[in-house]
Amino acid sequence: MKIAIVTDRSRVDSIPLEERLKEDEQKRKTVEEIKKILSQKYNCISLVADDNIINQLKEENVDLVFNLCNGIQGDSKLAQLPALLEFAGIPYTGSSILGHTLAINKIYSSAIFQASNIPTPKFASIYDVDQLKDLDIDFPILIKPSDEGSSRGIHQDSLVFDMDSLVEKVSEELQVYNPPIMLNEYIEGREFSVCVMGNGEDVTVLPIQEIDLTNLPSNLKKFYSFEVKTYYKDKTVYHIPPRLSDEEIELMEDTVKQAYRVLGLRDYARVDIILKDGIPYVLEINSLPGLMKKKSALYRIAEVTDLGYDGLVLKIVDTAIKRYNLIDEAFDGPKIISI
């Protein structure tokens, strides 16, 4: 079987420089590590998506794409490569067009969680600062782009406690990120990352990770902002297993599975949760969660299970293969029998 890892080109001109450099490094290292792992078992190449990607995949006789494309621009950028692949009939790992489109936009996914009685913070979508006059959310409020990741646009000053700071930060974010900007009721609680894998009846939750920010310097606000993810990783403590009772774990697992199903996700995802007063609030689902070695939540979680990091990457491929009924043959094996 031949697998192509496909990733995006750099988002030059789309996001601030500091955020872009970090994103580019994540991309490069993730592709490198995943290629190393998949090459042990498969014929594996890596490609950068451009207008010609489908022709390239066909010329290379690729059986399966390991999708690592977050997309460059547009309100459904995460779904663009899956859309091309589906049109061309090329199988790929992870969620479909529908799942990615719903998950990437936190306003749509939050509305769906709310309608499905899955706890999620109160939210508002803002196109214009004038809308802030009629706001129905109490302070503190967290301001975030509606469709970014890795805390791009979620900086220390994104958590605001009064109207003046809210207006200032929203005006700034409206200039930089794809409108609307999302406002979130700030839930002060304990934070968890939960990885789900599988499809249909066979959906499992991996050990839960707790993110402990109590060791951050006292001048920093204690949420997982861009600054904390970038400069204070060494002050962040990850507890796997988390410090939770069996009942709390069960509640969190059920909530996460519901959230995964209600967005129609496939193969694997990571759910971010804040637990407050016994309620697991779903902040968002990452339908294409980071997989970087040593740095990502999925890496840390996989490393405490029998899978290990290599096993996790191979399991993502296995899960997709099973879903498509492909034949899993190492190097030069039979081609696709059905998709």
Ligand X SMILES: Nc1ncnc2c1ncn2[C@@H]1O[C@H](COP(=O)(O)OP(=O)(O)OP(=O)(O)O)[C@@H](O)[C@H]1O
Q: Which of 93, 286, 287, 319 binds ligand X (CB under 6 A)?
A: 286
Relative to beta strand 268-276, strand 190-199 is antiparallel
N-to-C CA span, the chain = 14
Q: Is 283 in the site for ligand X (CB under 6 A)?
A: yes
| Candidate list 10, 150, 258, 305; residue touching ligand X; CB under 6 A | 150
Single out the residue of 11, 100, 144, 266 in contact with ligand X (rule: CB under 6 A): 144
Instruction: Find the shortest distance in angstroms from Cβ 149 to ligand X.
Output: 3
186 binds, among Mg ion, ligand X, none (CB under 5 to 8 A by kind): ligand X
- Which structure tokens are listed for 318? 């296995």
The 71-110 contact track toward ligand X, x by CB under 6 A, reads ----------------------------------------
Cis peptide before 180 (omega within 30 of 0): yes
Interface of this chain with Mg ion, residues 271 to 310, rule: CB under 5 A: 272
Count, residues in the chain: 339
Give the Cα separation of 250 and 322 in Å (integer).
27
- Element holding 285 (H helix, E strand): strand 279-286
d(CA 282, CA 257): 11
Q: CB 44 → Mg ion: shortest distance, Å?
A: 29
From the list 71, 121, 180, 280, which residue makes contact with ligand X (rule: CB under 6 A)? 121
- Residue closer to ligand X by CB (options 93, 225) is 225
Closest distance between ligand X and the C-beta of residue 297, in Å? Answer: 8
CB 47 within 8 A of CB 57: yes
- What single-letter amino acid sits at 214? T
Query: Could you tell me which stretch among 17-25, 73-81, 202-210, 267-275 binds Mg ion (CB under 5 A)?
Result: 267-275
How far is 90 from 61, CA to CA, in rounded Å? 10
In this complex, which beta carbon is closest to ligand X, that of residue 53 or of residue 174?
174
Binds ligand X (CB under 6 A): choice among 90, 155, 284, 320: 284
Q: Is 147 in the site for ligand X (CB under 6 A)?
A: no
Cβ partners under 8 Å of residue 274, min gap 6: 121, 187, 189, 190, 191, 192, 280, 281, 283
Q: Which of 290, 307, 77 is nearest to 178 (CA)?
A: 77
Q: Which two structure tokens, joined as six digits, stand for 118?
A: 């899955």
Euclidean distance between CA atoms 63 and 41, whole angstroms: 14
Q: Assess 11 for contact with ligand X (CB under 6 A).
A: no
Decide if residue 280 touches ligand X (CB under 6 A): no
Point out which residues bind ligand X (CB under 6 A): 121, 142, 144, 148-152, 154, 184-187, 191, 223-224, 272, 274, 283-284, 286
